[in-house]
Structure 1
């Protein structure tokens, strides 16, 4: 059925008059009448009875009217969604050391339905940049971890994740069910470069600043250092799931604060689309069953009290 003919039919049905319907549709009356005749021919039935005061729906017309309104409404919704898809906007999500990535698929599913014009691109930041690309404006939003210097950023805490020691599989500590961070003191370990955010670097070295070892810039480089250089180091517990491989053992670590998973953005930025992405990620994280050892922090929509974060407002 021709949508233009259906619009004409609905207008005549609602106005009860061909002339008034033509005025409403900004059409001359002959083209309007022709479209109604074509629609009647297509359906094989009469839709209107002509009466002295205008036009009255037949039984068939009364059946068609709600169907026609529904078809026109659906066509309009389809048009709006297609137009929205044509105006694609990109939001770049920074990610540091796998922070919060388990909740991303659920957030993406929601955003595909509610924001058809959104393209979400992942920027995997090096572990030397705890801001996840926010400082260099490579990202609009970041899933990252505390502690680091959060001045100029707005931060929402999503949860906490325990730590594991990454050890060579033949290391004497590799067979342990748990170990204390003090047992790693003085051992060679992978290190972050000088110039990396001081709080971030001290946290991952467990304050063992003098420990020798190779300098790394990514989680993969950390793992290569364990295998090839025989060193150790601290990683989030999720690394044991994402990066399990021969030659490396992951042992839970006690005696060191867990990693705080946060959602961060620039405090001076205001963008409704970035807000929508942030809310979808926070909702997905709060409602997901956390992987073993990962604990939710606070209800969605209420900023967590984050020690050491100089954020002026929640994400």
Structure 2
């Protein structure tokens, strides 16, 4: 079995869809389908149950997925140790500074456990750069939130989080069980600086132009509400400072936690980071 074919199979098995797997692998669907059929012929048993809506793993496919992940991880570690011996095993990771995520901690531990020879450089950024330096080439991979300009990038959603309106506790709206964006239409909002990604701004501004104080960090968002009585959008499970509360926004799409990397980047360390991120956020 070739490692490349096993990577194809793992992508299909994780996405459970040939089209999404082909997009993830930056290839067209027909050669991917042929490669999986060839692998099934080599194994001598079906690996996938196919249907118009997607695919499902057969018992044989489940076993092969577990074994293939182990083989690919070992192959990546071989490359990694060779790179380390040559002084090249480094990975730059961008992280959005929007609070402590237990899954991110789990990801960091798993990555270090599986890749102890990698020198990982972490670049924590504020809310003005949702790609965490990907577009500028400052990092190899980013753990962040969407939406943002995905030109030249591959983006994989790890989780979605509900959002709410951040309000002072003495705000009349703070007593409500839920709010709609229209309830906040005449209020001043905290907003991001000029030049911040338009897609990112549009999401956190509720799809409308806003007026209010400019902020760059989660802490500045909270202080703007506390001191100025402005409003804004935050994660529903973020613990605000005393004097603030979060009320669910019932008509706003949840925030996406994503892992992103340059499209076409097939370096083993980047692929390994993505696999570990998917596993850390998938349980």
Fold match by TM threshold 0.5: yes
**What is the aligned partner in structure 2 of residue 121 from structure 1?**
121
The aligned length equals 203
Cα distance in 2 for partners of 1:175, 1:183 equals: 13
Which 5+ residue runs of structure 1 have no aligned equivalent? 1-80, 288-315
Asked whether the 8 Å contact 2:146–2:200 carries over to 1, the reply is yes
Aligned partners of 1:186 and 1:208 also within 8 Å: no
| Partner of residue 262, structure 2 | 266
| RMSD, aligned CA | 2.5
SS at match of 2:249: strand
Structure 2: gaps of 5 or more residues: 1-80
Kept in 2, the 8 Å contact 1:182–1:255? The answer is no
Q: Distance in 2 between matches of 1:147 and 1:110?
A: 26
Q: Is the 8 A contact 1:84 1:116 kept in 2?
A: no
**TM-score, L = length of structure 1:** 0.59
Would the aligned equivalents of 2:192 and 2:216 in 1 still touch at CA under 8 Å?
Answer: yes
CA–CA distance in structure 1, aligned partners of residues 256 and 206 of structure 2: 15
Larger Rg: 1
Shift of 1:265: 0.6
Q: In the alignment, what sits opposite 1:137?
A: 137
For the Cα contact (< 8 Å) 1:190–1:233, is it kept in 2? yes
* Residues 253, 85 of structure 1: alpha-carbon distance in 2 compared, 3 angstrom cutoff: farther
Shift of 1:236: 2.1
Kept in 2, the 8 Å contact 1:187–1:231? The answer is yes
- TM-aligned CA deviation for residue 98 of structure 1: 3.4
Q: Which residue of 2 aligns with 1:278?
A: 274
Q: Could you tell me which residue of structure 2 aligns to residue 110 of structure 1? A: 110
Partner of 2:203: 203
SS in 2 for 1:173: helix
Q: CA 1:101–1:93 in structure 2 vs 1: closer, same or farther (change >3 Å)? A: farther
Verify the 8 A CA contact 1:163 1:235 in the aligned structure 2.
Answer: yes
* TM-score (norm: length of structure 2): 0.65
